[in-house]
Amino acid sequence: MSAGIKAMSVKQTVAKSRAEIFGNIRRGLGRKGNSGEASAEQKQAVQNRLNAQADNLIPQRAQLPHDEQVELFKAMATEAVAELIELDNIALVPQACADWLKTRHIDQLISASSSEINSLDWSPLLNADVDRVERVAQAGDIASLTSSFAGIAETGTLMLHSGPDSPTTLNFLPDNHLVILRRSTIVGVYEEAWKKVRAAFGGTESGLTLPRTVNMITGPSRSADIEQKLQMGAHGPKTLVIFLIND
């Protein structure tokens, strides 16, 4: 009962706040349309701008032929302290994982269940006594493996997104995050990655509906909160390994 009254009062607070906030803004802007709102033309102008999805200035840096974009990606990712392992084809990923984990005495790999990952022959892990488990990550997990949606050359950034076969916890909770990146998915700048996102998730009735989360990741976790001195491995992965597939 009392909770109900409280909930009502919060609801009223929100409604009152909303009305006051919009009232202040419209007054401040001198809105002259119906009931003090923006005019139809002003509304249309904003819709047009939203629909245009126009690029702003795009720096020259990554406006390059694809091969050079890949080189730039490698340089920038390395500068951001990601570990880069190049492989000639995706079939080599299981062995590369096995080698990397074995060297560090890690015996479990928490894995995304994308078709890209599941279609591989994972026997090299068994041979190395590493257990591959498909699940969300939990506290205490040492290493995870995921696919990625794109690589962005401009700053050596990976783009990943959530989905049924790619739990987000895999990107943040384990100490080591291993990511598969196909050379063909590397783009120059963020704007090109958004175009890929629009192609994959747009075109619905209500325009673009993004996955729950889109992650842009540039190197492993870090903090400089103690005396402004940079330390690697704060709360997210201490190591970010990129398997770059030169397919």
Span 103-132, contacts to another protein by CB under 8 A: none
**In sequence order, what are the residues at sequence separation of 6 or more whose Cβ sits closer than 8 angstroms to the Cβ of residue 110?**
133, 134, 135, 137, 141, 143, 144, 145, 170, 174
How far is Cα of residue 99 from the mean position of the Cα atoms in its chain? 26
Using only the alpha carbons of the chain, give its radius of gyration.
23
| Residue 60 in the binding site for another protein (CB under 8 A) | yes
Q: How many CB atoms lie within 10 A of CB 159?
A: 21
Contact criterion met (CB below 8 Å) for 153 and 187: yes
C-beta of residue 179 within 8 angstroms of C-beta of residue 241? yes
Nearest residue (CB) to another protein, 98 versus 175: 175
For the chain, the distance separating the N- and C-terminal CA atoms, rounded to the nearest angstrom, is: 63
Stretch of 88-96, 102-110, 123-131, 209-217 contacting another protein, by CB under 8 A = 209-217
Q: Give least dist CB 102 to another protein, A.
A: 24
Q: How many residues bind another protein (CB under 8 A)?
A: 92
Tokens coding 47? 């819709």
* Binding of residue 76 to another protein (CB under 8 A): yes
Using CB atoms within 10 Å of the CB of residue 119, give its burial: 0 to 12 exposed, 13 to 18 middle, 19+ buried.
exposed
Beta bridge partners of 160: 215
18: contact with another protein by CB under 8 A: yes
Output 119 or 204, the one with its CB closest to another protein.
204
From the centroid of its chain, how far is CA 119? 23
Write out the binding residues for another protein, residues 130-169 only, by CB under 8 A. 135-136, 138-140, 154-157, 162-164, 167-169
CB of 33 to another protein, least distance (A): 11
- How near is the Cβ of 152 to another protein at its closest, in Å? 9
32 binds another protein (CB under 8 A): no
* Residue 30 engages another protein in binding (rule: CB under 8 A): yes
The residue from 13, 89, 123, 246 that contacts another protein (CB under 8 A) is: 13
Distance in Å, CB of 116 to another protein, minimum: 17
User: Which residues, numbered 34-53, are part of the site for another protein (CB under 8 A)?
Assistant: 37-38, 42-43, 45-46, 49-50, 53
Is residue 78 a contact point for another protein (CB under 8 A)?
no
Residues of this chain, 167-196, that bind another protein according to CB under 8 A: 167-169, 171-173, 190-191, 194
Strands 157-161 and 150-152: antiparallel
In DSSP notation, 135-194 reads S---TT--EEEE--SEEEGGGTEEEEE-BTTB-THHHHSSSEEEEEEEGGGEESSHHHHH
217-236 residues in contact with another protein (CB under 8 A) are 217-229, 231, 233-236
For the CB of residue 231, give the shortest distance to another protein in the complex, in Å. Answer: 5
Tokens (6 digits) for 190: 């963020």
